[in-house]
Amino acid sequence: MQDSIIKKLQVIKIIAETEDAKTFVLQPIDGWQPVYKAGQFITLVFNTHHNEKRRSFSISSANDEPMAITVKKVDNGEFSRLLNYKVKADDVLYSSG
């Protein structure tokens, strides 16, 4: 499954920017080397109890820095809350390409 469109990203660092926003520094694994520019987005894949959901997040780092996304908690935002409250350093996230 080397050429899978689902890619793995390890969270290598989490920076608390404000009380309700965090930056997640991501390290691609499995040999994937993404090419991106600040402001482009990455789509993360979340497996819920019954299905798969995808959410896009803007990349907040320059292309010569480790990939990062900054996520502000939204009160009824299912995945912004998941990222801000549950995800820890060393966790693996999944991206669709």
* Model confidence pLDDT, tens digit, residues 13-72: 999 999 999 999 999 998 778 888 777 999 999 987 888 889 999 999 998 899 999 999
Dihedral sign, CA of 36, 10, 58, 48? positive
| Residue count (the chain) | 97
Instruction: Give the integer Cα–Cα distance in Å for 66 and 9.
Output: 11
Quick one: 6-96 is in which CATH superfamily? Translation factors (2.40.30.10)
CB-based burial of residue 81 (10 Å sphere; 0-12 exposed, 13-18 middle, 19+ buried)? Answer: middle
Torsion from C-alpha of 86, 90, 92, 96, nearest 10 degrees: 100
pTM: 0.89
